Amino acid sequence: MESKNTQYMVKLKYIKPIKLPIVKEQKLVEFIPIIPLEDDKYIKGKIEGAARVFLPEFINFAKHLGFEVSGKKRITLKTDDDYAYLRLFVYAMVMQALKDNTMWGKLEDHILSMEPLALRYWASTFRNNYWEHNNRRKLLKIAKCFLDVEEI
């Protein structure tokens, strides 16, 4: 019997835009694992986190990581690569804390160069905090800690 891998889905939804010095399209992303069951069936897992992201930078980074992008209005990203999912997850959580678009490129480079252990640590910290509080504002505090600790 073949073992099936967990797949990951990222949904982009409408969110009321915040005011920024530059006009950027904004979306709310939700990170959802999809767990395989028997007989080619899958079940959606619990939402691991939600964040405000800015387009097209977020979509371009996801494509760079190898995500499949589908949809025009309701955009959905899919992958079965664990580390690509974790990289995009951490990127989204920290991106919402950075309002300066000149820092997004530096954040991308840093996340691409992160070791797997650090990546898993930060992703689990964001996920556990989201599950405990179910509040995106609490995630901003952790994102600012990430920026300080990782010296971005």
Could you report the per-residue pLDDT of 49-75, keeping only the tens digit for each?
999 999 999 999 999 999 999 998 889
DSSP type of residue 74: S
48 in any annotated domain: yes
Strand partners, 31: 10, 49
Residue 43 has pLDDT above 60, yes or no: yes
CB 71 within 8 A of CB 55: no
Within-domain flag for 1: no
User: Is 125 inside a domain boundary?
Assistant: yes
20 in a structural domain: yes
Whole-model pTM? Answer: 0.94
Given pLDDT bands bounded at 50, 70 and 90, which one contains residue 139? very high
Instruction: State the total domains in the chain.
Output: 1
* Domain that residue 108 falls in: 7-150
Q: CA-based angle 145:113:150, to the nearest 5? A: 20
